[in-house]
Amino acid sequence: MGWLASLRRLSPAERRTLILAWALLALAPLLLRVLPLRRLLTVSPCRRRPALAPERVAWLVTVAGRRVPGTRCLPMAMVTAWLLAWQGTPATLRIGVARHADRLSAHAWLECAGRPLIDTIDDGYTPIVGVPVPAR
């Protein structure tokens, strides 16, 4: 089954969220280069009513990320945070580090109600930064 057929199986709210996630993921790397992260997480367009479960929003962002070349964890977490905040769901963007062999690696993820939404954090990442993203 092609991606177009899969797209048709989504609800209208899910299709809108997927398309918006795709556009924001394409724009996020540029925004991260010119604005501080804390400023980006306070961007506040008009508030929408809650429409989708946080896990569903995170899944849609992950699906959109597969269609945007070079998508990394920080833009994915940031876009998920925006979409959740815009629908009235607070979350926390976390950045952590882990030692793998002889190097440190960093990872960003989003938590909602204390649970990670993007990726499972099973590689031993220790959170060093947590930025609350309030509902708008």
Cα dihedral sign, 25-77-30-133: positive
More confident residue, 116 or 43: 116
Judge whether 93 lies within some domain.
yes
Total number of domains in the chain: 1
Helix (H, G, I), strand (E, B) or coil at 136: coil
Judge whether 2 lies within some domain.
no
Q: The pTM is what?
A: 0.86
Residue 50: predicted pLDDT? 59
124 alpha carbon, distance to own chain's centre: 20
Judge whether 124 lies within some domain.
yes
pLDDT tier for residue 102 given thresholds of 50, 70 and 90: confident
Mean pLDDT, all residues of the chain? 86
Judge whether 106 lies within some domain.
yes
Judge whether 37 lies within some domain.
yes
